[in-house]
Structure formats: C-alpha cells, structure tokens
Amino acid sequence: MDFPLYAPAEEHDMLRETVRALADEKIAPRAAEADEAGEFPWDVYKALVATDLHAIHVPEQYGGAGGDALAAVIVIEEVARACASSSLIPAVNKLGTVPLLLSASEEVKARYLGPVARGDAMFSYALSEAEAGSDAAAMKTRAVRDGDHYVLNGAKMWITNAGVSEYYTLMAVTDPAAGARGISAFVVEKSDEGVSFGPKERKLGIRASPTRQVILDNVRIPETRMIGAPGSGFKTALATLDHTRVTIAAQALGIAQGALDYAIGYVKERKQFGRAIADFQGLQFMIADMAMKLEAARQLTYHAAAKSELAMHGQPQKDLTFLSSAAKCAASDAAMEITTDAVQLLGGYGYTQDFPVERMMRDAKITQIYEGTNQIQRMVMARQLLK
C-alpha cells in the first residue's frame, strides 16, 4: 500500500513521545518563570543538547542527528506545546544553518555545522533591518571588499537569539548598483571584532528568547566566510525561507496544541449551573472548531515538510514556495484563534498569569509576524498561483 509521502513514520511517532516526555518534565515547569524573567533558558538548552534535539536537522556527516524536515517540525511542535520561547532553539538553529546547507562551500559547512551539532554554538539569521523588514532587499548593511577580506558595516534588527548565538548568517550589500542581485551572505561570529548587540527588545511574547539588534562596526572577515557566490545572498535568503516557514508553522501548531489541551482539561473540571461546562453545546462547538482548525493546519504543515525534505535533497518541488507560505499562514492564524478561544473558555482565569493560556495567546501573535508577515505570505501565495 502506498502511503502519502507526508504520513509520519514509526520513528516520527517515537520521536514525538521522546520530545513530549522531555518537554513535560523539563520545559513546561520552567515556561512561566522564563517568560516572566525574560531570561534565555540555558537549562532547557542543555537538556535539548543532551537528547540531541537542539538541532536535529544537521546531517550526520557534520556530526548531527540527520533528522528529516518532518522530524524537525515534530521537535519544534512538541517543545512549543510547552514553551514557545524554547522552541526557538531548534527552530533558529535550523534557520541560521539552512543557508549553509543550501549554498555554502564544504569548508564553511564543515567548520560551522559541527559546533552546532555538538551543542557548542547556536546559529542565528540576520536579514531584517529597521527600514527593511518586509522589503528585505532594501537593506543598507554594506560589505566592502578589501583584499581577501570583506569589511561589514550596518545594523540588523529583530534578530532572534542575538547575543546567545555564536554564529550569524548575515546578508549585506556587496554591489549597491545591482539591487537584490547585489546582496551576499556571510557567516559572522559573535567574537568578531566590531560585533555588538543592541538592548533586548521588550516584547509581547516569546520573552525568554532574546531579540536584539546585531551591530557591525568595521567588522573584517575573510572572504572564505561568504556563503555561496557574490550576489547570491538574497536568492539564498528566499530559498531558506521556503524551508523555514514550515518551522514557524510547527511552532504555531505546538502553541495551539498546548492551549487546546489545557482548555479541554479545564472545561471538563470547571462546574457552573451544577454541571461541567463541557456539557454546554456552545462550548463543545468552540472546542470542536479549535481542534478542526489545528488538525487542518497540521496536515498542511506536514505535507509542506515532506516537500521541504525532497527539495533539500536535490529534488526541486515547484509547489514548495506556495505550500510553505500556506502552512505558515494557516497555522499561525489558527494558533491566534485557538489561543484566543482558550482564554475565553477559561473566562476570568484565562486572563490571569496563574494559567498558561494568556502566555500562549501572547506567544501565538509573533507567528503571524516573523519570517514574513501573513500579509506577505498571501502575496507570495498569490504570485505562485498567478505566475
């Protein structure tokens, strides 16, 4: 019998059990405290590293676990069910390293993927700027050639895990006259002279994951740290997002699942008018709609993950761009609706920090914004459909 290519295999189900057990034991109990303090959860990072779940996508040849795209989705989803901030550890490690996997020289891959696989370093992605968010090609950060080096100047904005990551895939303009074709990609190290970070942004959600500016002041790096050919950086950036929008969809699924699970437990216990509120049809319909939206988004996300995996292995998928945008958009919109409904189902309790659903609602919002706002995703989808 020929099963559809996005059906999880037995090893995926076993992986889910492993991650969920770890998340329930080590991550969920820390989530509220980490959110409140706004501190990166190093203990969670160590627990993920100890179980090889911090960057499961890194190929075995670089010392990684060699997990496929669906494995990465399941890890991110299950960690996000407990703590959205913590799920950015495997998600951003993938975001930062996919440009290398797609475009970098063997030398660059060998040098930088090993430390990530071992848990010695995290990898962030630096594309956006203060005046170049949705219009990323309008970036101003410059990389000027100087012999066999490049000198970088500029500032990157909204960089997830900035300051805690050792390495950064960073896009900069190498040929200002060439527009998007004049952008190149580089690996920048936290320890490079002239690299500094802005203050931590004070955010609505994902508070335990630092978001900061990456500031470059005459940062001189060898030309060997360019990812791919000069001028190919923007193409690499867009190709990367085709793969990593799927991981944001996964994060949204996990946040939504956590909220739905909590809400179901609550409505079965909470009594009003002499019976459990789960007995009221109005609330039953809310729960049914939440679960239906979540499962629809999940199937779309797993399908996109399967396409992503084929594309990473040299089998171009002409519908990957559409599917990854659709998955990210559908899952994040669903997560916002589901978490908002979960707050509603808990009533006054849902609005307090004594219960986790208000945090989940705050965390869900960012999934509609980062890695391309959902308005941009709709533009991307429409362009794919109409071209």
Which residues carry out catalysis? 371
Length of the chain: 387
Looking at this protein, which amino acid is placed at residue 346? L
What would the two tokens of residue 186 be?
């580089």
Distance CA 287, CA 274 (A): 21
Of 317, 335, 328, the closest CA to residue 377 belongs to 328
| Coil/strand/helix, residue 219 | strand
Helices 233-269 & 357-367, crossing angle to 10 degrees? Answer: 160
Distance CA 301, CA 91 (A): 14
Bridge partners of 176? none
Of 304, 381, 293, the closest CA to residue 336 belongs to 293
What would the two tokens of residue 265 be?
């437990």
| Coil/strand/helix, residue 185 | strand
Could you give the angle at the alpha carbon of 176 between the alpha carbons of 135 and 321, nearest 5°?
35
